[in-house]
Amino acid sequence: MAFQTAGPDPSKVALFFLLCVCAAAQGSYRGFVRFSQVQEPTQRAESEELWFTQKLDHFNGADSRVWKQRYFVNEAFYKPGGPVFLMIGGEGPANPAWMQTGTWLTYAAKLGALCLMLEHRFYGKSHPTKDLSTDNLRFLSSRQALADLAHFRTVMGQTRGLTNRKWVAFGGSYPGSLAAWFRLKYPHLVHASLATSAPVYAAVNFPEYLEVVWRSLASENAECPVLVKKASDSLVERLKDPKTFDNITKDFNLCSKLQLQTEMDSAYFLETLAGTFMDVVQYNEDNRDFEGGLGTNITIKVLCSVMGDASLGDPYARYVAVARLMLDTFSLKCLDASFNNYVRDMTNTSWDGPAAGGGRQWVYQTCSEFGFYQSTDSPNQPFTGFPLGYQVQQCADFYNISAEQVKEAVAQTNEYYGGYKIRSSRIVFPNGSIDPWHALGITQDITADLPAVFIKGTAHCANMYPARNKDLPQLSLARDHIFILLQQWLKQ
C-alpha cells in the first residue's frame, strides 16, 4: 500500500544502507549509516542494561564457548496476556533511547506489550570474542544473529512465562531485514514482524543508491543534482593536476595535505565528499527531537539551497561551501580524507580501536554476506570516481576476501533468504521514497499477508520515530495503517 501525494513514483525507476542502524545507535562508515560516529547516549536509570548468555557458535554443537549479550527491558506498558515486542539491534551500539520513545512504544501502550531490545553480536558492548581479528569475525553473520534472537526468545519465554505470548519483531534498516528473516526462518517463535527500510535483497554492486540520491535531490529542485554533478566533475578534473592539491587541501580544510598515490586515495577522497549528500538524503528530515537522532538541521532543502546560491561562485565553490557547512555543523576542525588513515583504523582489531564502534564489523558483513556497495557505476547519478572495484578491494585489504568470494557470498545470502521473493506471512515492509535503501526493499505488496507500505516523501526509518505535528500526512497514515495490521495479526 502506498501513502503518497500526486507525483512520479520513484520506486518504479530502479529496483534496487548504519544506524539508524535504526534500532541501534547510529554508527559510522559506509554502510547504512554514513555520518561520523555518534556516541552512545547516556543511559537513563530506567534503561538498565541486562546480560544474556549466548553460544559463540550456534551451528557447532561441539563448540561450548559462551559470551554475554546485552539487552534492555521496558515493562511499563505490559498487561498480563499481552504480546511481547522485540526490537532487534543492528550495526552499532543498541540505543537505550528506543526503550523510552518511538512508534513501537506507542503501539505497545495501546496493546499492553512487554518491550525488549537485544543488541547485535559484535556491536556495542556485546563482545563474543577477545578482539575483532578476521578469524574471530567468522562468528559475525546474520545467521548467527538470528540464532541469537531465537535462543533469546526461547529462554526469555521460559524464564518470564512468555512462551505462549505472541512475539512481534521490530527492526529498521539491517535490523529490519533481520526482523523479516526472523519471521521467515523461525515462524514458530515470532508471530509477526515490522521490517522498516529493510534491504532484503543482497547486491554486490548497488549504483541504484546514488540514482535515488539524484532523484531525491531533484524532488527539491531539478537543478540541484545537475549542479552537484558539475561540481563533482570539476573536482575530478582538478585532481588530474597535482599543482591543484594545495588549493584543494585549503578549500576543503583537509586535516593533511592531499596526496593521491593510488586510485584508492582519490576514490576515498571523492566518496568522503559525496558522503555528505548521501547522508543527508538518507536521513532527510530525520527526527531531530529524538535522543538517537542525528541532531542536525541539514536537510536536502538546505543542501540544494547552498548548491543553488550563485553568490558563492561556481558549482565547485558551492561544493566546498557544503563541505565546510558540515564541518561547522559537527564542530570538526578539519576533514580527514586520508585513505591511509582509513586503512589504519579499519585494520585495527582491538575492541578499543577507532573502527570498533561498528565500522570494521559492518564492512566485514558487507564483504561476507551483503555487498551493498554504493558505487558510481551508473550514468544516472551525480558523482564520479568511486567504482565497484574500489569498494571490493577493501574486502581483500581488510579481511583477505576476494572479489569472487564476495560475489559468491551475496548469491548465497539471496539463496538462503529469498531476496525480493521472500515468502512468509505477517510481515509488513514500510519504506520511504526519499530513502535510497528502498531500492533493495519491498515496495509493493507480495501478498495480503506480506504488505508493503511505501511512504512518499520520507527517508530512512521515518515511521519508527515518535510522531510530530509537522509529520507529513502520509507518514501519519502509514503509522496508523501499520497499527491496524498489528491489531489484526495479533488476533490470528
The residue written with cell numbers 529493510 in the block is 198
* Residues 447-460 as b or e (16 or more Cβ within 10 Å = b): eebbbbbbbbbbbb
Instruction: Name beta bridge partners: 172.
Output: 196
Give the residue from 285, 290, 296, 284 showing the smallest Cα distance to 329. 296
Give the residue from 40, 110, 49 showing the smallest Cα distance to 74. 49
Instruction: Name beta bridge partners: 455.
Output: 3, 432
Please check the confidence at residue 7 and state whether its pLDDT lies above 80: no
Angle at the Cα of 226 from the Cα atoms of 224 and 228, rounded to 5 degrees? 70
Q: What is the pLDDT of residues 348-405, one digit of tens each?
A: 999 999 999 999 999 999 999 999 999 999 999 999 999 999 999 999 999 999 999 9
Give the amino acid at 307. Answer: M
Q: Round to whole Å and give the CA distance between 56 and 76.
A: 32
Which strand (E) or helix (H) includes residue 179?
helix 174-185
Alpha helices in 222-358 (DSSP H): 224-238, 245-251, 263-282, 300-307, 315-329, 339-346
Q: What is the pLDDT of residues 450-480, one digit of tens each?
A: 999 999 999 999 999 999 999 999 999 999 9
Are 118 and 88 a contacting pair, CB within 8 Å?
yes
Rounded to 5 degrees, φ, ψ at 309 are: -85, 95
46 DSSP 8-state letter: T
User: What's the mean per-residue pLDDT of the chain?
Assistant: 90
Domain 204-412 maps to which CATH number in 1.10.3720.10, 1.20.120.980, 1.20.120.420, 3.30.420.40?
A: 1.20.120.980
Binned at pLDDT 50, 70 and 90, residue 285 comes out as confident
Q: What is the pLDDT of residues 164-204, one digit of tens each?
A: 999 999 999 999 999 999 999 999 999 999 999 999 999 99
Are 453 and 195 a contacting pair, CB within 8 Å?
no
**What is each CA distance from 364 to 141, 262, 295, 375, in whole angstroms?**
9, 23, 28, 17
What sign results for the dihedral spanned by CA atoms 370, 374, 379, 384? negative
Residue 3: predicted pLDDT: 53
Q: Which of 173, 193, 375, 433 is catalytic?
A: 173
DSSP string, 346-377: HT--STTSTTTTTHHHHHHHIIIIIEEE----
Binned at pLDDT 50, 70 and 90, residue 46 comes out as low
**Is there a catalytic annotation at residue 193?**
no
CATH class of 50-202+414-490: alpha beta
Q: Which of 127, 191, 438, 460 is catalytic?
A: 460
Q: What is the pLDDT of residues 330-354, one digit of tens each?
A: 899 999 999 999 999 999 999 999 9
**Is there a catalytic annotation at residue 460?**
yes
Find the mean pLDDT for residues 199-219.
97
Q: What is the pLDDT of residues 48-67, one digit of tens each?
A: 999 999 999 999 999 999 99
Q: Round to whole Å and give the CA distance between 311 and 334.
A: 24
Ranges of each domain in the chain: 50-202+414-490, 204-412
> For the whole prediction, is pTM greater than 0.85?
yes
Q: Which of 251, 279, 345, 435 is catalytic?
A: 435
Please check the confidence at residue 103 and state whether its pLDDT lies above 60: yes
